Amino acid sequence: MVLPLCELSYRKLMASKPKTKPAKKRIGRSRYSRDQLVEIFSRFKQQRKEPKGELDHVNAYTLLVAVVLSAQATDVGVNKATKALFAIVDTPEKMVTLGEEELIQHIRTIGLFRNKAKNVILLSKKLISEFDSQVPQNRDTLVTLPGVGRKTANVVVSMAFGQPTIAVDTHIFRLGNRVGLAPGKTTDDVEAILERVIPEEFLYHAHHWLILHGRYICKARKPDCEACIIADLCKSKEKTCDVPAPVIERGAG
């Protein structure tokens, strides 16, 4: 079949057009300058030089389990449930031997306990069969485990293996958007902005500093601006005080 000249010309034109690459996703920007960020995190460091996570654990495996259990639950509630559990279970093998039904009895005070128990048993079996019972030190590998998302993986590689990552939970997501530190529509957006703008010398502990600030000072319902050590730098429209609280050295938590 002979194509009309106009159609041949159209096809040649379309074939010669360069294929457009998909546009890169634009990530928001922090509202703070580098000097302001250095001052903010310098104060956090002065207040808590070596901040620690509040989930109790005895090794990398029990940390992984605790973080999986902490989804939509408080650290205090998880610690109460795991106190007796971790006294008898500290390896994947012991967890599998314990079994799903017995695990449920230990964690039934935690929200979504049935689904979490199922995932803990499944991830324990996978650790045994594919990773020689060792918790992977790589974030991309960790997220292949049942019940392990990006936030959980970030917490584990940071706390267990000393890698500087930002695990964006509800506190950090709220804080990043409320004060303009990392305005983003998703937790991945907030994570990307924070990892890009936080000065390298503060990045390792930044996750815990931000969580503690969001949990105890910049609270969801009503920020305690009078107790805020960065009130003078804060750019939130909600803030009620411009005078920073004195920086008093505290313990790890």
Is the Cβ–Cβ distance between 223 and 236 less than 8 Å? yes
- In this structure, the dihedral spanned by the alpha carbons of residues 61, 144, 53 and 224, taken in order and rounded to 10 degrees, is -150
Q: Given the structure tokens 């002979």, which residue do they identify? A: 2
Which entry of 126, 169, 222, 239 is annotated as an active-site residue? 169
d(CA 68, CA 207): 17
Active site residue 151: yes
Say how far apart CA 83 and CA 192 lie, in whole Å. 34
Catalytic member of 151, 188, 235, 237: 151
Residue positions annotated with a catalytic role? 151, 169
